[in-house]
Amino acid sequence: MFRTRFPSLLAAAALALGASLAPAVTPAVGPPAIPHAAAADALPGDPPGANDWTCVPSAVHPRPVVLVPGTFESAEKNWSTLAPVLKQQGYCVFALDYGIVNGVPASGPVRDSAAELGRFVDAVLGATGARQVDLVGHSQGGMMPRYYMGFLGGAKKVHHLIGLAPSNHGTQGLLAPSPTGAVLDTEASSALCAACADQYAGSEFMAELNAIGDTVPGPAYTVIATRYDEVVTPYTSQALAGPAKQVTNLVLQDYCPLDVIEHDQIPNDPNAWALVSNALLQDGPADPAYRPVCV
């Protein structure tokens, strides 16, 4: 989801609103010249520690980790703190930009973005020789892979999807303020940001996504939510339904009660990192009995 309080994002939204919408730019995918080849002027570079296309997964960490940013977020902005943490832990780490419309990242239709994710995953598997990846996504990036897994054949290529504040069932909150601060209706929101309209609770996209159930056979699912989420609301809508052997829903404050992190900053929260790192070590979803050392 995109953040309403950052002027730079509102400026990007204004640009998108003022221009005639063009189809989302699909970055060229295929190692080693990825993922910014088609959008080098629109977005900054890779997060530290990410997109080393010569990285060979180890026996300890055999699956590459693909980081999927949220709406209006570049990979570099969304993952500049978590990517180096995971790299230091020994993972091959990759991160993509997707859904670029008029230079605005992750704002295109979610279905199209899911197809871009699929091409990126194929490139990662081809480069590393791995059979599957683990996905860690923030907001839209924690929900959009479910479309890839459920409708585009991605389930066999994904071992675990970890969502940080994911928009799994849409949001009942504000998605698209106009540059003047006025609240946009669904039609205006769609013109500004197709991904935003897709993420409204009750949207046609959300109905399609969840018509097949919250999960598909094969992958494990972990949701890490914060009670202070002001974007994907209510925060309880982020949880996924499924058996304990496949799905774990975590609320950050159940583990670190004094942590007041909100939606935008959860990827930068060390307590969330600890939960992500533990989840990546599991054969299935996160172990709810794990207790991080809270900071």
**Pair of tokens at residue 124:** 């990662």
- The pLDDT of residue 180 is 41
What would be the CATH architecture of the domain defined by 7-29+64-280? 3-Layer(aba) Sandwich (3.40)
Is 275:286 a contact under the CB 8 Å cutoff?
A: yes
Is 187:193 a contact under the CB 8 Å cutoff?
A: no
So where are the chain's domains? 7-29+64-280
Distance CA 239, CA 227 (A): 12
Residue spans of alpha helices (H) in 89-224: 110-128, 140-151, 186-192, 194-198, 204-211
Pairing of strands 133-138, 158-164: parallel
pLDDT tens for the chain, residues 1 to 295: 433 333 333 333 433 333 333 333 334 343 444 433 333 333 458 999 999 999 999 999 999 999 999 999 999 999 999 999 999 999 999 999 999 999 999 999 999 999 999 999 999 999 999 999 999 999 999 999 999 999 999 999 999 999 999 999 999 975 544 334 444 455 555 668 999 999 999 999 999 999 999 999 999 999 999 999 999 999 999 999 999 999 999 999 999 999 999 999 999 999 999 999 999 999 999 999 999 999 9
- The pLDDT of residue 104 is 95
Is 91:121 a contact under the CB 8 Å cutoff?
A: no
- The pLDDT of residue 247 is 98
Q: What is the pTM of this model?
A: 0.85
